[in-house]
Amino acid sequence: MLIDDIVALRAGSRSRAAARRPGPPMHTEDREVGGVPVRVYQPDASPVVVYLHGGGFVICDLETHDPLVRRLAAATGACVVAVDYRRAPEHPFPAAVDDAVAVLTALARDVVPLAVAGDSAGGMLAVLAALRVPTIPLRAQLLMCPNADPTLSSPSATEFGAETLRQWIDMWLPDPALHPSPEVNLLAANLSGLPPTLLVTAENDALRDEGEALAARLTDAGVEVRHWREEGAEHNFPTLRDTSPAAAAAEDRYLAAAAALLRARQQ
């Protein structure tokens, strides 16, 4: 895939996002944290959730995920710090993880505890960043349809097709030896010590099985996990909420559970 193709895909993703309904109005600030560009939603609110957007490590950005992040901030009452991490192919692994870690480390100097969140590829980045900062007390992980296995070897990846995602992962991880490595493969990593986790998967999603395997491995590692599968839902179902009442209801269940987990961890 040529860089011109990537540029066109990014533009198309932004165009589709711009056609969707905006998220709730709230105060936001674009700034840098730890040398990384971020967008801060509800800067004076608490707790603080660091959000990593999806997009196959290649495509999406702060603008494509702005409505989703606004809904998360509104539902939880939290300050959400969305990270404009560096993307492949211009910046392969570990650039995106390094950016997430830099933001968490900088925030932890003034804000304790924090939480991490992410969808799809961003879900993997959130967990990888959490693993890199074991001394930072994280309140929770909020994951939606997370990528967990760069080998894309699960039955659902075959069932629903993941060839485009496979191309993107190859851009992010150009060294094939990394794909099964515990350094990036969450199904091979030591997950002990991670914070309580909300993890929602979708029935009709190439990432369904690896997301559910991640939930099982977290539980086996002693992590408190709340997981369910949204029956009938597709990958990135929040993007369908304008036209699908079922998708909107699915996202609302995720948002309510995220708010409940953050409240419980404040007590």
Expressed in angstroms, the distance from the first to the final Cα of the chain is 49
DSSP for 107-162?
HHTT--SEEEEEETHHHHHHHHHHHH-TTS-EEEEEEES----TT--SHHHHHH--
CA angle 76, 77, 80 (to 5 degrees): 85
Question: Measured between alpha carbons, how far is 51 from 98 in angstroms, rounded to an integer?
Answer: 14
Handedness of CA 186, 209, 141, 52 (dihedral sign): positive
Is the separation of the CB atoms in 254 and 144 below 8 Å?
yes
Question: Measured between alpha carbons, how far is 207 from 147 in angstroms, rounded to an integer?
Answer: 6
CA angle 211, 217, 218 (to 5 degrees): 90
Of 172, 178, 252, 261, give the one whose Cα is nearest residue 223: 261
Give the pair of three-digit tokens for residue 10: 């990014």
**What residues are labeled active site?**
120
Sheet strand arrangement including 36-41? 28-33, 36-41, 79-83, 48-52, 114-119, 138-144, 197-204, 225-234
